[in-house]
Amino acid sequence: MKSIVDGVLKFQKHTFPGLSGLFKELATAQNPSALFITCSDSRVVPELLTQQDPGDIFVIRNAGNIVPSYSSAPGGVTATVEYAVAVLGVSDIVVCGHSDCGAMTAISSCKCLDHLPAVAGWLRHADSAKAVNAARIHASPAARLSSMVRENVIAQLVNIKTHPSVALALEQGSLNLHGWVYDIETGSIVALDGASNQFVSLAEFPQTVATPAKRSVLAA
Ligand SMILES: [Zn+2]
């Protein structure tokens, strides 16, 4: 804990003064352009890997970068998605999984989670990805995990579309969805291409979006 408190003091003394103008602007308003949903894993730092400043991205983090399907039951993720889309008006949502994810490892290796009932219950929101991944043949445990991480991103993008605020913004063409997987060792990111349903290098294809081409609504 000492290093954390020391970090606060260092921030206040050395970093904050250089950013005081920005924080003055941000003191009473925020206007983030994107909602970034990723894992709680200590090695995944959204602002660092996207090089964004305070005020730039709205963030949800939880075990496994999960977005439960919409429900009227109270839920932190549901409320935060709704606020980001309906109030802040973000134009993009990124669901970002990552390599060596403990939550996805537990699912893909069918580890017993009897001693972690809360985690087990939470990860049920990834059951569709689990079913798809379990039905495939994988060359190795590492390949099975990599596939699980990607399938989970796809599953959570499906889940998020069940949220009314997201469905409406997609219908109105004011929101794009992105599915990423971040590799901790190399810093590289692959992104889901909604047109081909394949993950491609974000560096090579920076325009990649997961949102499928908007369907045209034909008059009857
Ligand atoms: Zn993780």
> Separation of 98 CA from ligand 1 center, angstroms?
6
Burial readout 152-183 (b: 16 or more C-beta within 10 A, e: otherwise) = bbbbbbebbeebebbeebbeeeebbbbbbbbe
DSSP state of 83: I
Report pLDDT for 74.
87
Domain architecture of the chain: domains with CATH:
30-100+149-201 (3.40.1050.10)
> Separation of 101 CA from ligand 1 center, angstroms?
4
Cross-strand bridge partners of residue 38: 61, 96
DSSP string, 6-73: HHHHHIIIIIGGGGHHHHHHHTS----SEEEEEE--TT--HHHHHT--TTSEEEEEETT---PPP-SS
Q: Per residue of the chain (220 residues), what is the pLDDT tens digit?
A: 999 999 999 999 999 999 999 999 999 999 999 999 999 999 999 999 999 999 999 999 999 999 999 998 889 999 999 999 999 999 999 999 999 999 999 998 877 778 888 998 999 999 999 999 999 999 999 999 999 999 999 999 999 999 999 999 999 999 999 999 999 999 999 999 999 999 999 999 999 999 865 655 554 4
**Contact (CB, 8 A) for 95 and 65:** yes
Rounded to two decimals, the pTM is: 0.93
> Separation of 145 CA from ligand 1 center, angstroms?
11
Residue 33 tokens, joined: 């352009």
Report pLDDT for 220.
45
> Separation of 198 CA from ligand 1 center, angstroms?
21
- Ion ligand 1: residues, CB within 5 A, are 39, 41, 101
State how far the Cα of 58 lies from the Cα of 173, in Å rounded to an integer: 20
DSSP state of 162: T
Report pLDDT for 216.
53
